[in-house]
Structure formats: C-alpha cells, structure tokens
C-alpha cells in the first residue's frame, strides 16, 4: 500500500457526549499518497483546522480512524507523541510559539523532545537550516529580534527539524509581505525536495494553491465537498461559487473574456500560464 496517510469515516464533535448531534468534522474519508502536495481549501469554520489536528493526534476522533503508513495512530495511545514527530503540524501564525533565547535553541526544541542531544542534535539543526536556507549567523540571535518573515521561517524550521514524513501547514503565508511569502514557499519546496516529504497546506490563497498543490481537498460545513486534482476542482466553477469559494483570479478573468469570445480557454489557473496562453493566442491571431 502506498498511501502514507489514510482517513476513514472520521467524525469529531467538541462535545464528548455529543448531545446535540453536531459534528465539527463529519464522515470524512480520504487518502494521501507519499510525496503528494495536498491543498485544503474551505471557509472559516468549515472544519479544515479541526481536521488537520486529527492527523497528528492532537485531537482524537469521536469515531473513525486515522492510519499512518497503514497503522491506526491511536492503536497505542501512549506512543501518540511519536506520531507527532512523523506528522509535523505548523499552526497558523507559528511565530507566536517561539520561546527560546536563541534561534538555534528554538529550532532544537522539537529534536530535543525526540530525544536527540549533543552532536546529533547540532547536526540535525545544522542540516535543516542548510536545507531551508537559515544562515549560521542567525543561530545566536534572539528570535524576537527578527523580522516577521524571518520569525515565521524559524518557527516552521522548528517543526521541520523533527524531519516529519508528512508536513502540515495551516495558512503558512498569511500576513506576510511578498518577500516573506516567496521565502516561505521556497522553504517548503526545499524541504519536500530534500526529504521526499508529503505536504498538506491549508490556505485561502487560490493562486498559491494553483501553483503549489497537486490535489485539492475542498471542505464545506465539516464534510469533504471535493477531493481531486487542482484542474478538476477549479473546473467546477459554479459549485465553488455556491459554497462561497473563489477560483484563481486568472481563471476568473479568462471566463469573462470567454463570455465575449468563446474561443478563449477557461481552464488555466495560474497567472503565468494564462499570460503565456494569451500571448500565444495573440500571435496565432496575427499569423492567421
């Protein structure tokens, strides 16, 4: 079996007795292949964040199960900590969880909890910093003296340092400026390339999703609305609109042009690809 992560009929209610029968997550099933990049999109309150907290065992399903490499993560509740090392979860605004005096110490926190120490620990931190491009001169700085974007990257590196097989990030680029965004996205890509890790990203930003993800999981009211390739999900324009989600702006623009001239394609979702297509179209028109 090649699925690294499998979720089966997961239901979750914040009320343990579930008197009112309301679920934050209801009957969710999906599986993730090793090395995939999955994007999760959905409204605020659609259950995205609740869902991902099940994947590393921070929340325990009311019913249903989560399988990591084919094994139910709750088979041995005492070893749930090991699951958290294999499935790294970066919360929204992770820079608020920084607490150590130096960048090096803060990135070491996760590996230390795994039981690493001494040279092994230093080697681990060095390695991850090299992979994601955090320079050595930052090691002794206080994380609180860094810029917003730098803090964010140190916090993410703190989770990456545990070298998780699955890396989950909740809105990793929210609130960053363009440079911070570029750096953060490239660091996620570098991590994936170096370790062949599986990546799951929650985001509101459809453009980034179109650029980054292989498949999109669309959440609506606690259930899965779609789980398909980026192309197929963004092609269901009307349904996305119905549940209050947008398609990337480039696709939206192409649709408007298509209303005027139906020979224009509407199935291009990134700005770059749309620009290339339109230029090629213009050249073709001229040639004809």
Binding of residue 162 to another protein (CB under 8 A):
yes
Binding flag, residue 58, another protein (CB under 8 A): yes
Residue 14 as a binder of another protein (CB under 8 A): the answer is yes
Q: Closest approach of Cβ 155 to another protein, in Å?
A: 9
Binding mask 170-209 for another protein (x = CB under 8 A): -----x-xxx------------------------x--x--
Q: Which of 204, 230, 198 shows the shortest CA–CA distance to 216? A: 230
From the list 22, 136, 241, 256, which residue makes contact with another protein (rule: CB under 8 A)? 256
Piece of 4-12, 67-75, 192-200, 264-272 that binds another protein (CB under 8 A): 264-272
Least distance between another protein and beta carbon 247 (Å)? 10
Stretch touching another protein by CB under 8 A, among 129-137, 218-226, 234-242, 246-254: 246-254
Alpha helices, DSSP H, located in the chain: 48-55, 80-86, 103-113, 118-132, 148-160, 178-195, 206-212, 230-235, 237-242, 249-260, 271-287
Instruction: Order the strands of the 223-229 sheet from edge to edge.
Output: 87-90, 166-170, 198-202, 37-41, 215-220, 223-229
User: CB-wise, 6 or 88, nearer to another protein?
Assistant: 88
Q: CA-to-CA distance for 285 and 97, rounded, in angstroms?
A: 55
Supply the minimum distance, in Å, between the C-beta of residue 276 and another protein: 8
Q: Specify the 3-state DSSP secondary structure of 241.
A: helix
Q: Is 102 in the site for another protein (CB under 8 A)?
A: no
3-class secondary structure, 168: strand
Radius of gyration (C-alpha) of the chain in whole angstroms: 21
96 near another protein, rule: CB under 8 A: yes
Q: Should residue 84 be labelled a site residue for another protein when binding is judged by CB under 8 A?
A: yes
**231: contact with another protein by CB under 8 A:** no
Using the contact rule CB under 8 A, the part of the chain among 89-97, 117-125, 192-200, 223-231 near another protein is: 89-97
169 token code pair: 């990030």
Q: Does 158 bind another protein (CB under 8 A)?
A: yes
Q: Which residue has the tokens 């907290």?
A: 53
Give the distance from CA 41 to its chain's centroid: 10
Q: Collect all residues with Cβ–Cβ distance below 8 Å to 146 and sequence separation of at least 6.
A: 103, 138, 154
Nearer to another protein, 13 or 28 (CB): 13
Decide whether 133 or 175 has the Cβ nearer to another protein: 175
Spatial distance between the Cα atoms of 111 and 161, rounded to a whole number of angstroms: 6
With binding defined as CB under 8 A, does residue 53 bind another protein?
Answer: yes
Query: Does 88 contact another protein by CB under 8 A?
Result: yes
For residue 50, report the phi and psi dihedrals to the nearest 5 degrees. Answer: -65, -40
Q: Checking phi first, is residue 81 left (phi over 0); if not, alpha (psi -120 to 50) or beta?
A: alpha
Judged by the rule CB under 8 A, the positions of this chain that interact with another protein are: 14, 43-44, 53, 56, 58, 81, 84-85, 88-91, 94, 96-99, 109-110, 113-114, 144, 147-148, 158-159, 162, 175, 177-179, 204, 207, 244, 246, 248-250, 252-253, 256-257, 260-261, 263-264, 271-272, 274-276, 278-279, 281-282, 285
């Amino acid at each position: 079996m090649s699925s690294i992560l499998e979720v089966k009929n997961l239901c979750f209610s914040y009320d343990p007795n579930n008197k009112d029968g309301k679920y934050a997550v209801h009957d969710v099933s999906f599986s993730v292949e090793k090395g995939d990049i999955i994007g999760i999109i959905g409204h605020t309150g659609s259950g995205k964040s609740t869902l991902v907290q099940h994947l590393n065992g921070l929340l325990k399903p009311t019913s249903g199960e989560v399988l990591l490499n084919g094994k139910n993560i709750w088979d041995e509740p005492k070893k749930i900590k090991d699951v958290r090392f294999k499935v790294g979860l970066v919360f929204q605004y992770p820079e608020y969880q920084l607490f150590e005096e130096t960048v090096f110490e803060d990135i070491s926190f996760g590996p230390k909890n795994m039981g690493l120490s001494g040279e092994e620990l230093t080697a681990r931190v060095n390695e991850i910093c090299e992979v994601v491009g955090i320079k050595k001169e930052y090691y002794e700085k206080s994380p609180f003296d860094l810029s917003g974007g730098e803090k964010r990257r140190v916090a993410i590196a703190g989770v990456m340092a545990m070298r998780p097989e699955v890396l989950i990030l909740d809105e990793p680029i929210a609130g960053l400026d363009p440079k911070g965004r570029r750096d953060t996205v490239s660091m996620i890509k570098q991590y994936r390339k170096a370790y062949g890790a599986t990546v799951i990203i929650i985001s509101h930003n459809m453009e980034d999703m179109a650029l980054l993800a292989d498949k999109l999981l669309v959440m609506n009211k606690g259930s899965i609305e779609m789980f398909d390739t980026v192309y197929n999900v963004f092609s269901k324009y009307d349904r996305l609109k119905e549940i209050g989600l947008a398609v990337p702006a480039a696709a939206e623009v192409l649709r408007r042009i298509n209303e005027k001239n139906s020979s224009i394609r509407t199935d291009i979702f990134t700005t770059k690809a749309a620009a290339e297509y339109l230029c090629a179209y213009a050249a073709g028109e001229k040639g004809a």
